[in-house]
Amino acid sequence: MSEGLAYQQLTPSGMGALLPWNPGTSVQDLARQARAAALDSGCALVRGIDLGEDDFKLLVRSLGDRADHRFGEGQADLLKLDASRDKGKVVTGRGPLPLHTDGLLVGSRVDLIILYAADFADTPGSGETYVSDQLTAWDEMPEHLRRVLDEHELEYLVTERGYFPTVPEDWYTIPATRDHGRVKSLNLATAFPPDVEQRSWEVRVKGMAQERSDGFFAQLDAFLRSERYAYKHRWQVGDLLIIDNQRTLHGRTAIGEGGTRVLFRGQLTLSDAA
């Protein structure tokens, strides 16, 4: 990889950068260049990298400070998203994950999310990660959707207690926007599809009738995942995807019945000067 190249963007809105990979590049140089591209464009994709667990941890440490970890599994420098078949596993399981902000439910600041495909084999459309250019989408959002976010509060009920053991057991309110000094952005998670039985969380608009609230989240999700704003990534072994959690939202399609999907995940917090 070299500085100053005009990288291929990943969405029509201009989000994302596809970076070329030079096998002679050190892990530290890879971290520096991919971090710069992710912070500039929302996410950076590099393909064909061979990383073991120790290499991945070195990459994560080279990118920034590990996020304040408050989850029931893994660590901030390495969590294996292994498509578990264990009953009750959602985040590390096989079902879909709606668009969301990492750290939202536990009140933890996460600036960068690092995902690496250690093993992957699934049918097209399954086990894919999608990333939404939420800043552009928010700026271009229809007024009827924007008004709800501006004038109402959002409430969450966490149902996957094993993964989120420290959060309130009843419904609780989380602000719909956040600003850690680098960029003001949406701070939310959308709803699981109605036909999905295993869910990590429930979300509603506080004080709004359930049917209307459900309709709002369905429309919001469709808008944020429209072709203009959303990039859907079909994994290959060796893919590295670094996501700016302040500029984007991300989610996952369900993993196929016979699919294999093992991603290493790291979470980082950057200094305010970053």
Q: Which residue has the tokens 């667990």?
A: 53
CA dihedral (187, 193, 199, 205) in degrees, to 10, reads 40
270 CB burial (10 A radius; 0-12, 13-18, 19+) = buried
How does pLDDT run along the chain (274 residues), one tens digit per residue?
434 456 889 999 999 999 988 888 888 888 889 999 999 999 999 999 999 999 998 888 888 777 666 555 656 678 889 999 998 899 999 999 999 999 999 998 999 999 999 999 999 999 999 999 999 999 999 999 999 999 999 999 999 998 898 999 999 999 999 998 889 999 999 999 999 989 999 999 999 999 999 999 999 999 999 999 999 999 999 999 999 999 999 999 999 999 999 999 999 888 754 4
For residue 137, the one-letter residue type is: A
Q: How far apart are CA 262 and CA 74, in angstroms?
A: 14
Residues 6 or more apart whose CB falls under 8 angstroms from that of 52 comprise: none
228 CB burial (10 A radius; 0-12, 13-18, 19+) = middle
pLDDT at residue 69 in the model: 63
pTM higher than 0.85: yes
pLDDT at residue 77 in the model: 74
CB atoms under 10 Å from CB of 10, counted, come to 23
* CA quadruple 110, 111, 117, 121: dihedral sign: positive
Which pair of structure tokens corresponds to residue 222?
């469709």
Q: Which helix (H) or strand (E) holds 145?
A: helix 143-151
For residue 170, the one-letter residue type is: D
Residues 6 or more apart whose CB falls under 8 angstroms from that of 233 comprise: 45, 128, 129, 130, 131, 239, 241
Among 31, 109, 151, 97, residue whose Cα is nearest residue 261: 97
3-class SS of residue 219: helix
**Rounded alpha-carbon distances, angstroms, from residue 208 to 34, 200, 216:** 42, 22, 10
Q: How far apart are CA 34 and CA 59, in angstroms?
A: 10
The separation between the first and the last C-alpha atoms of the chain, rounded to the nearest angstrom, is 21
Q: Which residue has the tokens 């609780």?
A: 172
Q: How far apart are CA 189 and CA 111, in angstroms?
A: 16
**Rounded alpha-carbon distances, angstroms, from residue 263 to 191, 194, 202:** 23, 26, 25
3-class SS of residue 226: coil
pLDDT at residue 3 in the model: 45
